[in-house]
């Protein structure tokens, strides 16, 4: 796997793909607690060093073995005791830098160190120990003729971790056969401990990956996250076991699917939660020059959902059923120096619909957000500079001023000069008809030519002369009648509201400081 390590320090696919799977199920977008940090760090470091360990003095066949030996010797000569950047990890908003250093290579073991700097300010240096076991080894009834690698992190420096989390908590086993096929088993052992008044019980997790020494960018596997229970302040959170599978390809395509999943939240005033039959996610990731984060586009669908929540009117628990909750979107390339950010979410009710505090049944609802023609420099400034500073706002007296300086001095000028247009749309479908609205806005020529200080001042005072905007809304007459809105709309008919055969409509336009409502000038 040294060839893989060398290749993917540049190409980054395998680490990106593996972390995609790990992070989808073990990290949270609002931050990383200590256990999640260690889990991601340990897994990421294990991938690199186990890959290097695989080759050292390995013999599979004369031709393959010689290739391994030559690459191993060159790699170790050029990289021992030298930090190697792991760019795929550093692309994460939570991480600013990540390097791996091979410190010592022996006949049966390799010692190394993973160094991580988090955007929130913490720095971690994590030692990794890899044991090399040569010779034929059997695993799950299959023989692996080359041998086995076992890698574990040394967590002794993390004194704030619960005592039950040690070097045996996170393990990677890699089984290699004589053809260069690799089977990897990532294991998190069961855990039970108290932390800051919370009791956590986790039954463990495993991830199995099948790949090849010669092309690790193609991989498939499965995962099992077992029951997680957290008790705190008379509230209980239960994540039931989740099992699933995934496929990853060298062109950046991925597919992830799960079996049934369930989250239960029990409190003093009742029990709520979410249950679903399965989740399916597909998409593609591609790294390009000049952009700090990879281009990506994906689709995800959660099927047959049951949500238990308190009724806002009665306070009693009520059940909402959806046939699916669908997500699409990502970051898309738009020319050489711009990207589009697009996201859509749609909830589809079951045939019976969803009862509302109105005499209609909700059948579906969707939201669409787009930010088109956003300069690559704006994306890079946000992820590389602004976001790390924002993580420091609670702990640094200067962070807020620094963030404002970046916003005004770098991010806003990048947006100002890139013809960026923002769009937001909503629609609902009921058994009595549909209602929808959409709006878009962008800086006009006055806004784009203004100095940054003048632009900021205009935004603060709500100056409409710097933007062009459009807004439209419509509601089916049948829905308006059913919800008793028609009598109110009739009061504004002809001035603020237009009428077609089937709908009531509204359209407002703001262009170069002049506003129109349904085509008629509107004084500002």
DSSP state of 178: T
Q: Residues 111, 100: contact at Cβ < 8 Å?
A: no
% residues pLDDT > 90 (the chain)? 37
Q: Is residue 180 part of a domain?
A: no
Q: Is residue 449 part of a domain?
A: yes
Inform me whether the pLDDT recorded for 481 exceeds 90: yes
Average of pLDDT values for 54-83?
Answer: 57
106 backbone dihedrals φ, ψ, rounded to 5°: -125, 180
Average of pLDDT values for 216-229?
Answer: 90
pTM of the model: 0.77
Burial (0-12, 13-18, 19+ Cβ within 10 Å), 488: exposed
Q: Is residue 299 part of a domain?
A: no
Q: Residues 101, 113: contact at Cβ < 8 Å?
A: yes
Nearest to 162 by CA among 204, 192, 122: 192
Residue 156 vs residues 48, 152, 159, 165: alpha-carbon distances, Å: 21, 12, 7, 10
Q: Is residue 476 part of a domain?
A: yes
Report how far residue 9's alpha carbon sits from residue 11's, in angstroms, rounded to the nearest whole number.
Answer: 6
Q: Band of the pLDDT at 270, cuts 50, 70, 90?
A: low
Q: Which range is most confident: 123-137, 180-194, 270-284?
A: 180-194
Q: Band of the pLDDT at 14, cuts 50, 70, 90?
A: very low
Look at the block and give the residue holding tokens 């800051």: 196
Largest CA distance in the chain: 88
Inform me whether the pLDDT recorded for 7 exceeds 70: no
Q: Is residue 446 part of a domain?
A: yes
Task: Compare 351 and 270 and report the one with higher pLDDT.
Answer: 351
- What is 422-463 written as a DSSP string? EEEEEEEEETTEEEEEEEEEEE-HHHHHS-HHHHHHHHHTT-
Nearest to 178 by CA among 72, 69, 64: 64
Q: Is residue 465 part of a domain?
A: yes
Task: Compare 283 and 17 and report the one with higher pLDDT.
Answer: 283
SS3 194: strand
Range of the domain at 486: 432-522
Average of pLDDT values for 299-323?
Answer: 85
- What is 276-324 written as a DSSP string? EEEEEEEEEEE--TT-SS-EEEEEEEEEEEEEEEE-TTT--EEEEEEEE
| pLDDT at residue 389, rounded to an integer | 85
Q: Which stretch of 11-20, 219-228, 295-304, 410-419 has the lowest confidence by average pLDDT?
A: 11-20
How many structural domains compose the chain? 1
- What is 199-246 written as a DSSP string? EEEE--EEEEEEEESS-TTSEEEEEEE--EEEEETTEEEEE--EEEEE
Q: Is residue 393 part of a domain?
A: no
SS3 519: coil
Average of pLDDT values for 247-263?
Answer: 89
Nearest to 268 by CA among 312, 307, 310: 310
Q: Is residue 467 part of a domain?
A: yes
């Amino acid at each position: 796997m040294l060839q893989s390590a060398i290749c993917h320090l540049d190409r980054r696919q395998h680490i990106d793909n593996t972390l995609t799977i790990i992070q989808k199920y073990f990290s949270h977008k609002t931050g990383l607690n200590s256990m999640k940090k260690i889990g991601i760090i340990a897994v990421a470091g294990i991938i690199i060093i186990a890959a290097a360990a695989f080759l050292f003095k390995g013999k599979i066949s004369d031709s393959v073995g010689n290739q391994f030996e030559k690459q191993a010797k060159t790699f170790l000569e050029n990289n021992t005791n030298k930090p190697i950047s792991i760019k795929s990890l550093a692309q994460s908003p939570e991480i600013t830098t990540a390097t791996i250093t091979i410190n010592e290579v022996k006949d049966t073991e390799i010692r190394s160190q993973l160094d991580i700097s988090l955007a929130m300010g913490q720095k971690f240096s994590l030692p990794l120990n890899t044991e090399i076991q040569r010779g034929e080894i059997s695993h799950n009834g299959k023989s692996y003729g080359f041998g086995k690698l076992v890698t574990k992190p040394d967590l002794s420096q993390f004194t704030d971790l619960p005592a039950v989390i040690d070097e045996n908590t996170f393990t990677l086993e890699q089984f290699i056969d004589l053809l260069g096929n690799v089977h990897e088993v990532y294991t998190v052992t069961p855990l039970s401990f108290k932390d800051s008044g919370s009791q956590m019980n986790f039954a463990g997790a495993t991830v199995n990956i099948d790949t090849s020494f010669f092309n690790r960018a193609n991989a498939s596997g499965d995962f099992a996250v077992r029951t997680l229970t957290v008790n705190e302040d008379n509230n209980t959170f239960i994540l039931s076991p989740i099992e699933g599978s995934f496929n990853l390809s060298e062109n950046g395509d991925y597919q992830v699917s799960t079996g049934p999943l369930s989250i239960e939240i029990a409190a003093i005033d009742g029990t709520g939660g979410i249950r679903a039959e399965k989740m399916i996610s597909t998409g593609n990731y591609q790294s390009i020059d000049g952009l700090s984060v990879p281009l990506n586009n994906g689709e995800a669908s959660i099927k047959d959902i049951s949500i238990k929540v308190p009724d806002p009117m009665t306070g009693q628990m009520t059940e909402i059923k959806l046939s699916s909750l669908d997500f699409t979107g990502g970051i898309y390339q738009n020319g050489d120096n711009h990207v589009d950010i697009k996201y859509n979410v749609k909830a589809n009710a079951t045939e019976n619909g969803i009862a509302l505090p109105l005499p209609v049944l909700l059948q579906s609802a969707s939201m669409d957000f787009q930010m088109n023609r956003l300069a690559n420099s704006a994306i890079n400034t946000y992820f590389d500079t602004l976001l790390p500073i924002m993580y420091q706002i609670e702990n640094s007296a200067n962070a807020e001023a620094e963030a404002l300086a970046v916003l005004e001095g770098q991010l806003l000028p990048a947006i100002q000069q890139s013809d960026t247009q923002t769009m937001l749309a909503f629609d609902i479908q009921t058994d009595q008809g549909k209602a929808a609205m959409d709006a878009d806005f962008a800086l006009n020529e006055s806004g784009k030519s203004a100095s940054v200080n003048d632009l900021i001042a205009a935004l603060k005072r709500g100056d409409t002369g710097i933007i062009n905007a459009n807004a439209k809304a419509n509601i089916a007459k049948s829905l308006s009648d059913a919800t008793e809105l028609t009598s109110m709309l009739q009061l504004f008919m002809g001035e603020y509201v237009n009428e077609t055969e089937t709908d009531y409509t509204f359209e407002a336009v703001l262009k170069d400081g002049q506003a129109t409502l349904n085509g008629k000038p509107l004084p500002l």
